[in-house]
Amino acid sequence: MTNITDKGLAAASEVDGSLTDILSVAITIARGAGAILREGVVTIAANRGAALQFKTSEIDPVTEYDVRSEKYIVGELNKYFPEHRIVGEEGGAYEVVKSRTSTAAYQWHIDPLDGTVNFAHGFSIFCVSMGLLIDGVPSVGVVYSPIIDEMFAAARGHGATRNGAPIRVSPIATLKRSLLITGFPYDSHTSDSNVPEFLGFQRTAQATRRIGSAALDMCYVAAGQMDGYWESKIKPHDIAAGIVLIREAGGAVTDYEGGDTMLTSGRIVGSNGLLHNAMLDVLKKSQL
Ligand code: IPD
Ligand code: CA
Ligand code: CA
């Protein structure tokens, strides 16, 4: 297994398109975007109470730093991979700048700031998330948490790392010993999304957590600090990177039925593998 390290950016002409090369470039770009957020959170925290902009409703904020981070990432990706397609949370789909043979098969799903509510409150749990699908298969994932300075990275077939050191999912084999993590969608004022499921796990796991960043939730499962994660109404930009990380760390990722529709159905379960069936069972029962 190749160890993935942060090699820094090679010149665009030197990037040969192997997964580890793509990963190295993505790591450096995520670090650059993280620096934008690290600087931004200080300003945002100092101005708490100032007017924020909102997307779907007043509980769904977006800051200028979400947009700045995305512009930076898209600009950099276009430099290195001009033929890749990029779908960013804030900008929708960007044009494929050049098209060569089958390269539209390469699609980045970018969350330039995952954990915006935390960020807007000056709470340190937020990240940059970049996932690459190749022919629809999650193949490269990078998640950078700029305040904690943790870089999670994985490429299909090459393992998963945190700050360059290999990571592995936990060995916890029973739900009642497990620490689980989840998130709630932005419709929580008008719907009970995930409430029955949360209750189901509160009654079966050792404990459940909600910290406000789906991409980091998944990294913590990959790193063996959490044992399982579930969420619904989630988007490809939230989970594309995390899927690669959990799988490469030896875990399992499926939809609520054990299938592979996470990116289209928006329902996802990621676990250390040992707990997977038990988690699917709780989800099934809580939706009756
Ligand atoms: C949100 C976070 C949160 C999850 C929401 C996401 P955002 O992303 O990942 O943990 O529960 O479903 O939308 O808005 O901070 O990028
Ligand atoms: Ca997100
Ligand atoms: Ca976001």
Residue 6 pLDDT class (50, 70, 90 cuts): very low
Based on the fold, state whether residues 214 and 238 are members of the same structural domain.
yes
Query: Any idea which of 32-36, 98-102, 167-171, 245-249 has the lowest mean pLDDT?
Result: 98-102
Mean pLDDT of 85-93: 80
The atom number, within ligand 1, closest to the CA of 118 reads 15
User: Whose atoms come closest to the Cα of 37: which ligand?
Assistant: 3
Q: State the ligand closest to the CA atom of 121.
A: 1
> pLDDT of 110-146, one tens digit each?
999 999 999 999 999 999 999 999 999 999 999 999 9
pLDDT tens-digit profile of 244-285? 999 999 999 999 999 999 999 999 999 999 999 999 999 999
Give 184 Cα–ligand 3 centroid separation in angstroms: 14
- Find the domain containing 144 and state its range: 4-166
Please name the residue whose Cα sits nearest to atom 13 of ligand 1. 185
Pick the last residue of a domain from 166, 194, 227. 166
pLDDT in the model for residue 47: 79
Tell me the mean pLDDT in the region 192-206: 96
Domains: count for the chain? 2
SS3 string, the chain, reads CCCCCCCCCCCHHHCCCCHHHHHHHHHHHHHHHHHHHHHHHHHHHHCCCCCCEECCCCCCEECHHHHHHHHHHHHHHHHHCCCCEEEECCCEECCCCCCCCCHHHEEEEEEEEECHHHHHCCCCCCEEEEEEEECCEEEEEEEEECCCCEEEEEECCCCEEECCEECCCCCCCCHHHCEEEECCCCCCCCCCCCHHHHHHHHCCCCEEECCCCHHHHHHHHHCCCCCEEEECCCCHHHHHHHHHHHHHCCCEEECCCCCCCHHHHCCEEEECCCCHHHHHHHHHHHCC
Shared domain check, 162 and 184: no
29 lies in the same domain as 89? yes
Is the distance from the beta carbon of residue 114 to the nearest atom of ligand 1 less than 6 Å? yes
Pocket test for ligand 1, best of 213, 221, 262 (most atoms within 8 A of CB): 213
pLDDT at residue 54 greater than cutoff 50: yes
Q: What per-residue confidence (pLDDT) applies to 100? A: 43
Domain boundary among 143, 166, 189: 166
Q: What is the mean pLDDT of residues 69-98?
A: 83
- Quick check: CB of 184 below 6 Å from ligand 1? yes
CATH of the domain at 102: 3.30.540.10
Query: What average pLDDT does this structure show over 92-121?
Result: 76
Last residue of a domain, one of 166, 194, 214: 166
Taking residues 184-196, report their average pLDDT.
87
Ligand 1 atom nearest to 214, measured from its CA = 9
With 50 as the cut, is the pLDDT of residue 187 above it? yes
Query: Measured from the CB, is residue 115 less than 6 Å from ligand 1?
Result: yes
Q: What is the CATH number of the domain that holds 198?
A: 3.40.190.80
143 and 235 in a common domain: no
pLDDT the model gives residue 56: 76
pTM: 0.91
Let me know whether 132 and 93 are in one domain: yes
Which of 67, 238, 262 is the best mutation target for the ligand 1 pocket, counting ligand atoms within 8 Å of the beta carbon and taking the most? 238
